[in-house]
Amino acid sequence: MLEARRMAVTYEANRAICKYVHSTSSGHEAIQLATGLQLQPCDYVSPYYRDDAMLLAMGFSPQELMLQLLAKGDDPFSAGRSYYSHPNIKRPGMPHIPHQSSATGMQVIPATGMAQGLQYLEQAGLLQQQGGVAPIVLCSLGDGSVTEGEVSEAWQFAVLHQLPILYLVQDNDWGISVSSEEARAMDAYDYAAGFKGMARMRIDGTDFIKSYTAMEEAIHYVRSTRQPMVVHAQVALLGHHTSGVRKEWYRPAEDLEKHQGMDPLPILEQELRRAGVTDDYLHTAAEDAKAYINQEFAAAVAAPDPDPQTVTAHVFAPTPVIVETGQRSPAGAAKVMMVDAALHAVEELMQEFPECILYGQDVGRRLGGVFREAATLGDKFGDERVYNTAIQEAYIIGSTAGLCATGVKPIVEVQFGDYIFPGLNQLATEIAKSCYLTAGKYPVQTLLRVPVGAYGGGGPYHSACVESTLLSIKGIKVVYPSNAADMKGLLKAAFLDPNPVVMLEHKGLYWSKVPGTQDAITVEPSADYVIPLGKGRIVTDATDQAVAHGESMCVITYGMGVYWAQAAAATWPGQVTIVDLRTLFPLDEPLIYATVRRHGKCLVLTEEQLSNSFAQSLAGRIQQACFRELDAPVQTVGALDLPAVPLNMGLEAMMLPNATKVEAAMKELLAW
């Protein structure tokens, strides 16, 4: 406790050196130390940004924490990429700490996903216990973050499935400058009462001995019963919220005085005196702690900064799928629709990988997905591996980060692209940044399936294409197949990729009911067929003669755009090359640029709107990379340029007509 307190004093005395934003555990040390000392190497821990005393108790040295404080290259957590007390570690003899962000409360979903993973591995007989100890998850958070809706999603899932997780809520009555009276109608203990099946405990987190005894009981409860529990610990806030938000700016004198009276350090010293410890010993201990922390701080200050050349490292982990393998069109194989190709791919993966699970809204055995994309899987693999969730897009997406940390390989589904937005916080904040901010220790291997696109009068909330939104998130890959063979090969590669992959699946191509999309039905590839992400495909190719006479052009597109382009290109046989991107990130730039340079005329076609879109961005990149070879400006066609279909007209009105803006754009380009 003296070391943790001395660290906070040292940082405050060296603000010019400690220039990055940080929080410390001052006032929270008792409950944090009582917790950290009792965790086992088999456990999983999700600390929050004020938990430096807990990290000391778990075995980290002050210098290791200071290396992150100062953003040094030897920072064992992020290699200088993250703020103070944002730990992650894979180290023998210590609990597992996957990535968690600074976003308050957001770590509760990934942490609950860790418990979900432990439960599945136990049920499947895949969990190897260390020394006979059953692992648990410890999720630490401040009381101010409990008001986040994502905490509710996580707690709902935890009690519904009775997961082995302990939520430690440290309540210091402040959320930056917002007091508890302003922010909440109840504290975490009272709130937890609404979650049937959640055990709960309220403790004095300023008293180390009481905290140790209480946490011993709580940890034993979760470890033995495999059920969730909330511990609400009242603590003091002695320091600033962060180094950038000073306590004197917003806290009245009476509040500071009240919290000073709750300081856990004098409380512990009094307990020690009652136990016979002398003042001389306490004085010597304080001096020793001061000297030790000064020494550790000096060593951290002298440590080397990160090499700027490494700034782009670890955005993604290396993927094993780098070449196309397997048979795309095996002899004697039957043709399949896209939806069945995806279904068969998932089934084959679940047969091969016992750690693979599938969950989402309505994918369980009762329905098998609203598009029947998971039909029969629940019956074949059981409710432990294929199951429904509530309407919880944030949990569906964010829990995969925790599952992956335990070794489970999840495939999850958001039912419509229009409803992915509640989950974007988890996707962008937790999942996409995990590999980078852990310096490669915790990439998130998750496959997120998202049905998209206009089809069958879906209306304004069931028809969106969302690729531009997703492509703005660094750290995820985005795949968009247009036929059954690509669906199967890309889905397999996406599953095997150690990084998060979002697979956008066009509802209008699932069954090829839209006239003109029959080519989406293909021979089913072999079970070992994979297509590396980032490789496009030439669908139709212009003749060399047309190219030589300057009478050719290319269309760069994907998804339903492939079939619009084919329908329009029928007017100019042999003059149009169509490139199906297949993967939007990573992008096959060599194929795109080589094709554009060959023809000199290019149309980028998308189902999305054009304003601020991926298609407009791609057109600009093509223009920049191929400027000298272009015979005409790159043209773009998007949703607002395409024929509108009234909701009550149905599929027949969605026929691919010859006289569309696509054909008009082709005519204009070919005239150059």
The percentage of residues in the chain with a pLDDT greater than 90, rounded to a whole number, is 82
Neighbours of 561 (CB within 10 A): 29
pLDDT value of residue 105: 86
* SS3 at position 626: coil
Which two three-digit tokens encode residue 165? 């997780």
Mean residue pLDDT across the chain: 93
Interval 42-92: pLDDT, tens? 999 999 999 999 999 999 999 999 999 999 999 999 999 998 999 999 999
Return the closest-CA partner of residue 21 out of 84, 93, 99, 74. Answer: 84
pLDDT value of residue 456: 73
**In which order are the strands placed within the sheet that holds 165-171?**
44-46, 137-142, 165-171, 229-234, 199-204
- Per the DSSP assignment, residues forming a β-bridge with 553 are 576
- What is the C-alpha separation between 556 and 569, in angstroms, rounded? 13
* Topology adopted by domain 335-523: Rossmann fold (3.40.50)
Q: What is the mean pLDDT of residues 185-205?
A: 96
Q: Which residues contact 283 (CB under 8 A, 6 or more apart)?
A: none
Consecutive H or E run containing 130:
none
- Per the DSSP assignment, residues forming a β-bridge with 315 are none
Going from N- to C-terminal start, the domains of the chain cover 23-53+103-293, 335-523, 537-671
Number of residues that this document lists for the chain:
672
Return the closest-CA partner of residue 111 out of 89, 126, 96. Answer: 96
Q: What is the mean pLDDT of residues 486-492?
A: 98
Which has the minimum average pLDDT: 174-178, 308-312, 592-596? 174-178
Which has the minimum average pLDDT: 223-237, 528-542, 650-664? 650-664
pLDDT value of residue 575: 97
Q: Does 618 score more than 80 pLDDT?
A: yes
What is 23-53+103-293's CATH superfamily?
Answer: Thiamin diphosphate (ThDP)-binding fold, Pyr/PP domains (3.40.50.970)
Q: How confident is the model at residue 461 (pLDDT cuts 50, 70, 90)?
A: confident
pLDDT value of residue 621: 97
**In which order are the strands placed within the sheet that holds 553-557?**
537-540, 576-580, 553-557, 602-605, 635-637
Strands 178-179, 174-175: pairing kind:
antiparallel
- What is the C-alpha separation between 434 and 432, in angstroms, rounded? 6
Which has the minimum average pLDDT: 254-268, 370-384, 587-601? 370-384
pLDDT value of residue 280: 97
Q: Does 425 score more than 70 pLDDT?
A: yes
Interval 318-339: pLDDT, tens? 999 999 999 999 999 999 999 9
Interval 77-133: pLDDT, tens? 999 999 899 999 999 999 999 998 888 889 999 999 999 999 999 999 999 877 789
Residue type (1 letter), 511: W
Which two three-digit tokens encode residue 428? 């962008």
Q: Which ranges of 382-431 does DSSP label H, i.e. alpha helix? A: 393-406, 424-426
Active site residue 506: no
- What is the C-alpha separation between 237 and 250, in angstroms, rounded? 13
Q: Does 658 score more than 60 pLDDT?
A: no
pLDDT value of residue 647: 60
pLDDT value of residue 174: 83
* Topology adopted by domain 537-671: Rossmann fold (3.40.50)
Q: 23-53+103-293 with 335-523: one CATH topology?
A: yes
Q: Does 216 score more than 90 pLDDT?
A: yes
Q: Does 220 score more than 70 pLDDT?
A: yes
Return the closest-CA partner of residue 267 out of 308, 304, 229, 236. Answer: 236
pLDDT value of residue 649: 59
462, 506, 549, 599: the catalytic one is 462
Interval 261-285: pLDDT, tens? 999 999 999 999 999 999 999 999 9
The percentage of residues in the chain with a pLDDT greater than 70, rounded to a whole number, is 97
Interval 432-452: pLDDT, tens? 999 999 999 999 999 999 999
Which has the minimum average pLDDT: 346-350, 379-383, 421-425, 557-561? 379-383
Q: At what angle do helices 264-274 and 279-302 cross, to 10 degrees?
A: 140
The residue with greater pLDDT, 306 or 178, is 306
pLDDT value of residue 650: 59
pLDDT value of residue 132: 84
Which two three-digit tokens encode residue 389? 């969730």
Q: What is the CA radius of gyration of the chain?
A: 28
Return the closest-CA partner of residue 156 out of 426, 410, 427, 389. Answer: 389
Q: Does 659 score more than 60 pLDDT?
A: no
168, 188 Cβ separation under 8 angstroms:
no
The residue with greater pLDDT, 359 or 19, is 359
Which two three-digit tokens encode residue 444? 């998130």
To 10 degrees, the CA torsion angle through 320, 323, 326, 329? Answer: 140
Q: How confident is the model at residue 607 (pLDDT cuts 50, 70, 90)?
A: very high
